[in-house]
Amino acid sequence: MDENMPQPTKKVPGAAQQFTAFTPYEPAPSEEYMNPTQIAHFRQILEDWRNELMAEVDRTVQHMQMENVNYSDPNDRASLETDMGLELRARDRERKLIRKITQALDRIKTGEYGYCESCGVEIGLRRLEARPTATLCIDCKTLEEKREKQMAQE
């Protein structure tokens, strides 16, 4: 097994925001950026994360089918509807995240993964490990956030 490949480790709670913990990639000195080993590392992270999210969606569907009970007590019914509403919003966020993960996997296939879609520079290994779906380098992302903040203030 390649020592640079993600190693199975414990799960990180909060699947919608985080993903399975992994062994951080340690590049060799003068290692080429986004070489096949690095690509395999990030592909594995993204696929594992997507699989976790898909499993969570399946669990939610099963849970909602089991909870399809008609409570006679209005308080119980209201509580159940509130819980289901929260659950559906969480699944909607996860659905959007699955789409971003799929787009990142598509960028791996086209050779665009790891490079800023705005300026073309390397996004960086540590940033990609922190946010594997990142499409902007830190400078372009900071600039985008400043613009958004200015627009909100106007």
pTM of the shown model: 0.74
Which residues are documented as binding site? Answer: 116, 119, 137, 140
* CA dist 84 → 15, 56, 65, 69 (Å): 18, 14, 11, 12
For domain 34-113, the question of CATH label 1.20.120.910 is answered with yes
* CA dist 36 → 29, 49, 63, 128 (Å): 16, 20, 40, 15
In percent, how much of the chain has pLDDT > 90?
56
pLDDT tens profile 127-153: 999 999 999 999 999 999 999 999 998
| Residue 12, amino acid | V
User: Residue 8 has which token pair?
Assistant: 């199975």
Which residues are documented as binding site for Zn(2+)? Answer: 116, 119, 137, 140
